[in-house]
Amino acid sequence: MRHPLIRIGSACLALALLSAVPQAGAMEAATLPASSANAMAQAASPQAIAEYRRKLAEYQEVRGAFDQQAGAYWDAISDKRRGRNAKRRDHQPIDADDYVLTQPPVYTGPKRPINPEPEPGHPPREHKAIPVVADLLQAAAQQFQFKPQLPASEMEFKRAYARVAAAAGLTREQAVRVYAFETGGTGNYDVQSGIEHGGTRAISTAIGYNQLLTTNSVELVAEQGTELVRALTAKAEQLSGAPRKAMDYKLSVLKRMVAMARSVPDEWSAHGKIADTQAGWAIHAMVLDIDVGPLLQTHKLLTSVIFARTKGYNRPLTAAELEMMNLTGDGTGLDMVTMPQALREQVPTSNFFQRNGYERNPVAIRHNTVAKLLAVTDSRMDSNSNLPGARDLAAAF
């Protein structure tokens, strides 16, 4: 079951789309050293405390009024979304009245003041560790006694991906332009969000040409497991000797992974729970495998194409349209894709977000209609498609 909300962690514009920007006050409070907090507490005079309380009251009044206005707006967004879903179930046409056509309110009031006194019950926030490639490989070895077969070169993986994608019906333009958008046009098969273009710290588990998250990998193995096993079985039948033995073992591991992924309901949240375990990390390591990785990358896009067809949308998806489905989930993405151009010019991007996701999303705010969001996606694809990695992938088709 594809997640209906925008995912976190793609590398390029997707990174900007999904970057979480905590409120300044909250960040300062969370990261303030204990010694500084104590010093502040010692230095806090009655006048400073009184001034803080005055500013806090002013902030709460202004912010409360804004939250009431914003709450009504986002309630309307939710109501319109439910209405569109109901119309689609009844095969009724969707028009402009089924969207909120005004932009969301923007808070312009004072910031929350910093309390000069220590606040009990607010320990520093702990950040969950994000596994990197080395962690995934270690998990595969520990959980399944398996090491993914890494490619001998980047071009070997690109050629394998191109063969699988083309055989599945994806076009070169779709595959290359999505790759260009997701990786910046230069990413390798093991590129991870945050660890590219000079970055040194992973910001999510998104890996590979289409930036699959751990939950994506678990979900794909659960839902496409039969096809994955069939593809590897066909390969095994063409081998003999040591290569056949290695492929048979890989198949046995894959079958165990499929069983693991299918041990929970076919729901994003359930798959996410597995994804946060060592077993989930091991499944995610299959994105790196020369045989399984291209299949997972292809199915990530192919499921969106198939979803669109099952909903009666038979026109070929542009790469930007496919990327919208890839980023936002099939249902939400198709909502944008099926929209006529005139409506795309009118409908704010806020119609496709939850409030928290939208307010942390500078690109959706800046490019605040469907037409503008698709245009900036196309523009980034245009520029990145001329970079070496994208050109190599195009040549592999």
- Beta carbons of 179 and 170 less than 8 angstroms apart: no
- Beta carbons of 246 and 271 less than 8 angstroms apart: no
Q: Which pLDDT belongs to residue 367?
A: 94
The token pair that represents 17 in the structure block: 């789309």
Q: Which pLDDT belongs to residue 16?
A: 45
Question: In angstroms, rounded to a whole number, what is the distance separating the alpha carbons of residues 64 and 255?
Answer: 53
Q: Which pLDDT belongs to residue 91?
A: 87
Q: Which pLDDT belongs to residue 198?
A: 72
Q: Which pLDDT belongs to residue 145?
A: 97
Give 3-state DSSP helix, strand, coil % of the chain, rounded to 5: 65, 0, 35
Measured at the CA of 32, the angle between CA 16 and CA 25, to 5 degrees, comes to 50
Mapped onto helix, strand or coil, the DSSP state of residue 329 is coil
Torsion of CA 69, 75, 80, 84, to 10 degrees: 160
- Cβ within 8 Å of residue 317, ≥6 positions away: 174, 304, 305, 308, 325, 337
**CA 207 to chain CA centroid, nearest Å:** 10
Q: Nearest to residue 323, comparing CAs of 81, 78, 1, 11?
A: 11
Q: Residue 192 — φ and ψ, nearest 5°?
A: -120, 145
What is the sign of the dihedral through the CA atoms of 187, 189, 190 and 192? Answer: positive
Domains of the chain and CATH, by start: 129-396 (1.10.530.10)
Question: In angstroms, rounded to a whole number, what is the distance separating the alpha carbons of residues 18 and 8?
Answer: 5
- Cβ within 8 Å of residue 326, ≥6 positions away: 178, 210, 300, 301, 304, 333
> What does the pLDDT profile of the chain (397 residues) look like in tens digits?
655 444 444 444 453 443 333 333 333 333 444 444 444 445 678 888 999 999 999 999 999 999 999 999 999 999 999 999 999 889 899 999 999 999 999 999 999 999 988 777 666 666 778 999 999 999 999 999 999 999 999 999 999 999 999 999 999 999 999 999 999 999 999 999 988 777 778 989 999 999 999 999 999 999 999 999 999 999 999 999 999 999 999 999 999 999 999 999 999 999 999 999 999 999 999 999 999 999 999 999 999 999 999 988 888 999 999 999 888 888 889 999 989 999 999 999 999 988 988 988 888 899 999 999 999 999 999 999 999 999 999 999 9
Q: Residue 212 — φ and ψ, nearest 5°?
A: -75, 135
- Beta carbons of 174 and 317 less than 8 angstroms apart: yes
Q: Which pLDDT belongs to residue 30?
A: 37
Q: Nearest to residue 17, comparing CAs of 304, 325, 269, 359?
A: 359
Measured at the CA of 334, the angle between CA 342 and CA 176, to 5 degrees, comes to 100
Residue 306, judged by CB atoms within 10 A of its CB (0-12, 13-18, 19+), counts as middle
